[in-house]
Every structure is written in structure tokens, then in C-alpha cells.
Amino acid sequence: MGMLDDKVVVVTGAGGGIGRDIALQCAAQGAAVVVNDIGASVAGEGLDSGPAQQVVDEIRAAGGRAAASTDSVSEPVSAGRIVQAALDSFGRIDVVVNNAGILRDRFFHKMGQDEWDAVIKVHLYGAWHVSRAAANHFKEQGSGAYVHMTSTSGLIGNFGQANYAAAKLGVAALSKSIALDMQKFNVRSNCIAPFAWSRMIGSIPTDTPEQQARVARIQQMTPAKIAPVAVYLASDAASEVSGQIFAVRNNEIFLMSQPRPERSVHRSEGWTPESVAAHAMPALKSAFYPLDRSADVFCWDPI
């Protein structure tokens, strides 16, 4: 018996990297899988039906059930067709894994509107469109699970990724909202911040020794290490897990914090700009967060 027997799972961006391994492991655990991928470049350019079909062929060769989808997540109509592919091929939908993504890295002061829009549309709008298309089906059947890919670029920070970071932090907020709004229908929603070497991460600059060392660490971490957590969150074994953010790095699994009040100050007469400067900020300053990046917080080698 597999953990996902009789379930139908949609995995977006499943033609390679993390999505491919999630799709393969879902199928190995008994799920029927819709393998969605438009076959674009890392920057989101071009179309190719080959990657999705290759993963479908792998699943079928291993005795599993799968169907290919080459629709884009970034528009509501095409995202709806991804969910419809699950209904047409397998009669239902139980899990959505929002994994599709692109990168268009550039320092904020050099970033163009097109680079901002393209990344937000795939990551944040894409997660919204596919999740929304599945929501009524989950509500009517009284069950369902969402697994969204977020990133420490948004949760912590990174250079040159304002578009990606904003989208990925938005995905974490979207996931929490889904978890709150749909808990009464027995629908769960969680996030994974993955550390893994993939085609998309392969675009990280390696211009400095520091960047080269960072990439060397990431290359030790394969996409297959992310899949077990995704499969678990998709399964009924995770029935009491919702609204959480996990990070997965090689053999490490982290529960990530969520914003909560850290410290407070109070003046019974209220505040003026001068008293904020003289009292509030000095009192709070010891709890300020430094301008950390993901690599500063996860500064030890993968285990």
C-alpha cells in the first residue's frame, strides 16, 4: 500500500528538477499524477511538450498512472485546464503541488517591469490560479491538500531577487490564507522552502568566490531530497498539518518561524516623532534583524 493510493495529484513544473522528483515519488506511492510543464527555459521562454511527456513515460514504464499537461499556470483559463486534465484523465483531484517557477534575477535598481511581472505571474499568480481552480472540487468532496513551493529568498532574503522573493513570500501568505479559509472543508495547505540543485537554481551567479562556494554547497543537494516531504504533506498521514512552512536541505527538515510580535514599548501619553527617536527605537534596537541573506542564516554545510 502506498501513502497516496487512489489519490490524484497535479504537480506543476514537473518536467524536471524538484517537480519531476515529486511527480515520480507521488506515482511510486500510488497516486495518479498530472505532470504539468510548458517546457520553457529557466527564464520562462519557449514551449516544449517533451519534458512533461518524458516524465509521464517514466511513470508509466514503472507501472504507474500519469497524464501530461502543457498548459501555463500564469493565466486563469489555462490553469483551469490543468485541473480539468486531472478530472478528465482520472475523475477527481486530491492534491495540488504548486512548483512551477522561473527566474529573472537582477538587482532591484536595475530590474525592469517585464522582469517583475513575469516572475510574479508564474510564481504568485500561478499558485493562485491553480489553487483556485481546484478549490471548489476540494470543497465539494470535503478533502484536499495543497503543497506550495516558497523560498528562503522571500522568508529571509537574497541579493538580486526582489521579484522572486516578493512572489515567494506572497505564496507563503497565500498558503496560510487557504489553510485558514478551507480548514472547515478538511482542506490543508502547507509550504516547502527547498534547497536543491536544479535547472532553475543553476542560474545563480558564480562571479565571486563566495558565490562559487554557495553553489558548490547547493550542488550537493539533489531534488529527490525534497520529494519525501511533499509526498507526506499530500498524504492523509499529514491530516493534522496545515498552515506550516518547512525548509528541506539535503537530509535536514526545518520548521520555519512565522512573524509574531518580538518586543514592544509603551508610553501612556502616546508617541511623538521625537519620543519615537529618543525612546522607542533605542529600546527596540537590540531586537532588530540584520540584513541577512539565506546563505548567512543557513551558513553550515548541508548535512
- The rounded distance, in Å, linking the Cα atoms of 58 and 121 is 30
Q: What is the DSSP letter of 100?
A: -
**Is position 164 annotated as part of the catalytic site?**
yes
Residue 161, classed as helix, strand or coil, is: strand
Cell matching residue 300: 553550515
- The rounded distance, in Å, linking the Cα atoms of 132 and 128 is 6
Q: Which residue pairs from 294-299 have beta carbons closer than 8 angstroms and sit at least 24 positions apart in sequence? A: 294/152, 294/153, 294/155, 294/156, 294/157, 294/158, 295/158, 295/214, 296/156, 297/152, 297/156, 298/152, 298/195, 298/249
Which residues make Cβ contacts (< 8 Å) with residue 246, sequence separation at least 6?
Answer: 190, 191, 192, 193, 229, 233, 253, 254, 255, 256
Q: H helices of the chain, where?
A: 17-28, 50-61, 76-90, 113-120, 126-141, 152-155, 162-182, 209-219, 227-234, 273-275, 281-284, 294-297
CB 103 within 8 A of CB 41: no
Which single residue is written with the C-alpha cell 509526498? 231
> Which residues are the active-site residues?
164
